[in-house]
Structure 1
Amino acid sequence: MSDEPKIPEKIERRLRLKTLRPDLEPLARELVELACTGSRELWGELTPDRLKQDTQLRRRFYELAHEGMFAAQEKMAGRVGTGERWDVSEQLLFRAVADTIAWAMLGGQLCYARRIYRFQKQPDLSASNFASVLRACQELRERAPGCMPLISDLTSFVQVGDIISVSAERRISIIEVKEGEHNKHVLDLAMFYAASGCETFREVVERTESRKTVKQMGRVLRQKARMTHVSEVMSQGSALDPDTGELVRIPEPFFPIETWDEALADLTEQAKERNWAYNVQGPIFLGAYAGDIAPRGHLMFLMALSLQGDVEQDYHIIRLADCMQIPLAPPVFSRTLADDVKMDILFGRMNVCIAVSIPALIEACEMAGMDVRHATRKELGRAKVAGARPVVHQGKGLMFSLEGREMMLLEGVIFRALFHGQQPESVLWHYLKNGELGLAKKGDVAN
């Protein structure tokens, strides 16, 4: 009988090497070059201090960056405009490029991205009012040179407004596009009601207009409320969510979180040289496999993990390329990796696997001065009822505390660790140390 640990088949299958359609690579390189390097001519002049202090240079930097982004969007729009169906590879590529632009517009801030994602399925572009939205983007560029109007439906997560636009001065606006006489009529009704707040007017509309018009007016009002909510959160730091009625706060001030981005970049370069590489960053386990080893690298990674713990119970594991299919996960193009490495990952020449070890996370948190205990059944049940998504390790939830504040470990912390390159113990420490989630006393549950 072999003592070799058994790898769960469902995990092995999920981590297998996958690839985009090979003939798309030249297009992928072109789109990424446009979307990510429009300001290249200024790179030699840039320093953080100069970009902050020199307003003319800063404006020119964003104008050039936006010009490249818009050129990438125009190229994708040309393909969508043919009306031909696009396959999964094209869809993943186009949405990833659009997402890369969106993340750049949002400064890479997950707290903002979460406000414009409504957990809905993005529409089929061939069935949307894509042509009219594209015309609106072109008109915006003419009226406000240097801005970057991004078509929301091109992305995987921008679900508020038809267009999210950022000016050369970094002011963000969300725009709804309406065409046709009937749509204009509905928009006028909705805007008058929103400005006046007159319930008598709304009652008159409900009595005199068709059911379709009344329903459409309601949708316009909800859209406007969501756009106002997002704008207020981004500009003021807090606002009531129109869908839930909850007060949403964007924490201030900004707290720097430790990351493993640099380790990932080093790891992939090592893998290109010798076909494989491993790295451990506290509770983060990294493995990269290239060349002939790439198709079976995930098996090597799982075997390595099994030497340290139970693969199914102790770890949360992804492929780096999974980010291409998950809204709110920045695409590979947004990571600080060499351009060739990004293409290797997408086109099957490299597989990168990442895991968070829960036992190692507990140990790292205790070393950082936090106390850790198991959640009670009541606490775990209350978290689930509240809509939270607790991490369950060996059948139990985990509570972390520091200086009188306590929070439950939720999936959001693991998501940040795996897809945003953040060290999970650093995330927990800052949540607790700074009261970022508004935790005032032990026993509270962080959502």
Structure 2
Amino acid sequence: MKTIQEHREVVEKISDFAFANAVNSVGIDNLTEKLVGNWGKDEQLNFIVKVHDGFKKAQNLLIEEIQYYQSLLREEKIQLKHWRKEKDKSKENESKRTIKIITQRLHTYSHIADGIAWQVIGGQLHIARRFHIEEDSTKFLDSSNVEHAISVVNDINKNPLEFALISDLTSFVQIGDVLVKHKEGVKIIELKEGKVNDKVSEFINQLEKDKVPITDKVLKDKFDDKTFKQAKRMQRQKERAKKASEVMNHDKGIDPVSGHEITVSTPNIPTLGYDQEFNKLREKLDTKTWAYTVVEGCLHIGMYRDEGIKMAGFAVEQILKQETNNYIIADWLSITASLSQPIFAKPFEPNFITDILTGKIKIIIGLNLDIMIELFNDYGLKTKWMTTKETAKAKQVVPRKGMFVLNNRGISMEGNNKNEESWILYGGIISKIIYDNILPSNIVQTLLSR
């Protein structure tokens, strides 16, 4: 396996291609001058070409690295089974540590791909959520027709003004096989191989061309039972891709997961974050091995380097334990496995980002939920812990994955208006605070403005 330094160099190289290729080509001073009013059409097109060129180079390297580490992961899992069978606890623990490192590096590379996809969809989190259908996204590239996908994207990417990204490289794009950015907008492509798939695709395409409704009866009359099931899957995937593209390009349409009509509206309250607190703590690490701050009374942030990493998590958790039993704590590196704004979209220096992704700097975030609830109430949003009985009842209505529950209790909210319906706190709100770095006070104001 590659050393930490070798891994760091690869992460830096891919990140530069993915997020700085155009800026490096044009020059930051020149770019700043252009953005204030001297941005000609040819220069804009050239910038787009450079952006896409960086994406394409980054994607090629991501494919290599992900395949390399997925191969190592397979081998190490076989080794783990062997050491368990041999009852060699030392070797078993060593193998577990190796698997943990490999898994995190795979998350890191998928997160870079997420950062590319994030730019393709214009940095819109609501679009990212439309792509995520809560399926297992740990597909091995060699078992997902990656060669066919590579061939397709390479063909599309011959056009310098277009860019095609293989979905399986990302963690959140779970609809479609390829995400394509072109001059008309963004689209999703489903790739199918084989004679049966070709036959089904040709039939479905002809039905659409003839404007014939694609019903179960129509498909059953044409295909045997096995092919009918495949046709249903293909049609469902195609419909999901079509719906996601519609929402992505027009901010309204049918949600590809729930099937409900949605309209994306501009928030009434500007989003306010606490990213600057990270940068302040980073500056303190120039002379210290750890730094710590509290934001709005409820958010505890610890940042560590070198020897300080040994105390990472422990210190923040001890502080929270003295305050309350109702807290959560997160290693912020888990952002690489979270459906949130990618770290590359945040106002951090490239070296800072690389330090976080490669473990040179560790960030721990703790959230005191009791104080957060007090804050919500202070702003006029009636918020309280539900009883265990109320929580159990709510679970029957609210999807289990969506509802936030701690110590067997959920959190309910309602506005000052007596006629206003009550809400259940979802995990998405906690994610916005922890990973999107949105201030809790801004979250509550946004909720009240709905």
Answer whether TM exceeds 0.5 for this pair: yes
Indicate yes or no: 2:245 matched with 1:192. no
Indicate the residue corresponding to 1:429 in structure 2: 445
Query: Cα–Cα, structure 1 residues 269 and 106, in superposed 2: closer, same or farther, change >3 Å?
Result: farther
294, 298, 314: which is aligned to 1:299?
Answer: 314
Q: Choose the corresponding residue for 1:129, options 145, 151, 165.
A: 145
Aligned partner (choices 318, 342, 351) of residue 362 of structure 2: 351
Provide the C-alpha distance between the structure 2 equivalents of 1:83 and 1:191, rounded to a whole number of angstroms: 38
Q: What one-letter code is carried by the residue in structure 2 that aligns with 1:50?
A: L
Preserved contact between residue 382 and residue 416 of structure 2 (Cα < 8 Å): no
1:109-188 matched pairs, under 5 angstroms: 109-122=124-137, 123-142=139-158, 144-167=159-182, 169=183, 171-188=185-202
2:114 corresponds in structure 1 to: 99
Q: How does 1:30-45 map to 2 (within 5 A)?
A: 30-40=13-23, 41-45=26-30
Matched, 1:365 2:376: yes
Relative to structure 1, is the Cα distance of residues 60 and 258 closer, same or farther in structure 2, using a 3 angstrom cutoff? same
Structure 1 match to 2:410: 397
C-alpha separation between the residues in 2 aligned to 1:394 and 1:77?
41
Task: Output the TM-score relative to the length of structure 2.
Answer: 0.81
Q: Note if contact 1:321-1:345 (Cα within 8 Å) is conserved in structure 2.
A: yes
- Decide whether the 8 Å contact of 1:62 with 1:146 is kept in 2: yes
Corresponding residue of 1:29:
12
Shift in alpha-carbon separation, 1:65–1:386, aligned structure 2, 3 A: same
The answer as to whether partners of 1:42 and 1:61 remain within 8 angstroms in 2 is: no
Q: 2: CA distance between counterparts of 1:84 and 1:275?
A: 34
Distance 2:204 2:289 in 1: 60
Q: Distance in 1 between matches of 2:213 and 2:312?
A: 64
Say whether residues 1:223 and 2:243 are aligned partners: no
1:48-67 equivalences under 5 Å are 50=35, 54=39, 56=41, 57-67=43-53
CA deviation profile, 1:237-282 (whole Å, cap 9, x unmatched) = 2323355332233233574221111111221232243111112221
Distance 1:28 1:80, change over 3 A: closer
Distance (Å, rounded) in 1 between the aligned partners of 2:225 and 2:231: 10
Residue pair 1:374, 1:398 contacting (<8 A) in 2 also: yes
Partner of 1:277: helix, strand, or coil? Answer: strand
Question: Which one of 248, 251, 274 corresponds to residue 262 of structure 2?
Answer: 248
C-alpha spacing 1:83/1:408, structure 2 compared with 1 (3 Å): closer
How far off its partner does 1:420 sit?
0.9
In structure 1, how many angstroms separate the alpha carbons of the residues matched to 2:218 and 2:171?
39
Structure 2 unaligned residues grouped into runs of 5+: 74-101
Residue 323 in structure 1 maps to residue 335 in structure 2:
yes
Offset of residue 125 of structure 1? 0.4
Contact 1:81 1:131 in 2 (8 A): no
Q: State the secondary structure of the residue aligned to 2:287.
A: helix
In the alignment, which of 54, 64, 70 is matched to residue 68 of structure 1?
54
Count of matched residue pairs: 410
When residues 228 and 131 of structure 1 are mapped into structure 2, their CA distance, relative to the original with a 3 A threshold, is same
Structure 1 residue 350: deviation in Å? 1.9
State whether residues 298 and 351 of structure 1, in contact with CA within 8 Å, keep that contact through their aligned partners in structure 2.
no
- In the alignment, is residue 341 of structure 1 matched against residue 352 of structure 2? yes
Higher relative contact order (CA 8 A, sep 6+): 1
Give the deviation of 1:333 after TM superposition: 3.8
Match of 2:277 in 1: 263
- Greater CA drift, 277-286 or 56-65: 56-65
| Structure 2 residue aligned with 1:10 | none
Structure 1 residue 196 displacement after superposition: 4.2
1:381 maps to a residue whose letter is K
CA offset at residue 373 of structure 1?
Answer: 3.9
Going from structure 1 to structure 2, the CA distance change for 1:115 and 1:273 (only over 3 Å counts) comes to: same
Deviation per residue, 1:4-53 (Å, 9 max, x gap)? xxxxxxxxxxxxxxx99553121111111111111222432445993799
Return the alpha-carbon distance in structure 2 between the equivalents of residues 83 and 370 of structure 1.
47
Code of the aligned partner of 2:331: R
1:442 aligns with none
CA distance change for structure 1 residues 281 and 59 in 2, over 3 Å: closer, same or farther? farther
Query: Secondary structure of the equivalent of 1:273?
Result: coil
In structure 2, the residue matched to 1:413 is 429
Shift of 1:158: 0.6
What CA distance in whole angstroms lies between the structure 1 residues aligned with 2:131 and 2:176? 9
Task: Give the Cα separation in 2 of the matches to 1:322 and 1:79.
Answer: 20
- Please tell me the residue identity of whatever aligns with 1:317: I
Alignment of 1:198-209 (within 5 A): 198=212, 203=217, 205-209=219-223
| Pair 1:275–1:182, CA change in 2 (3 A) | same
CA distances 1:349-379 after superposition (whole Å, capped 9, x unpaired) = 2211012221221232233333334447557
Q: Quick check: 2:247–2:255 contact (8 Å CA) kept in 1?
A: no
**CA 1:255–1:176 in structure 2 vs 1: closer, same or farther (change >3 Å)?**
farther
Aligned residue for 2:291, secondary structure, equals strand
Look up the match of 1:386.
398
Q: TM-score, normalised by structure 1?
A: 0.82
Partner of 1:6: none
Larger CA deviation: 417-426 vs 189-198: 189-198
Q: Does 1:233 align with 2:244?
A: no
What is the SS of the residue equivalent to 1:300?
Answer: helix
Question: Are 1:193 and 1:202, in contact at CA under 8 Å, matched by a contact in 2?
Answer: no
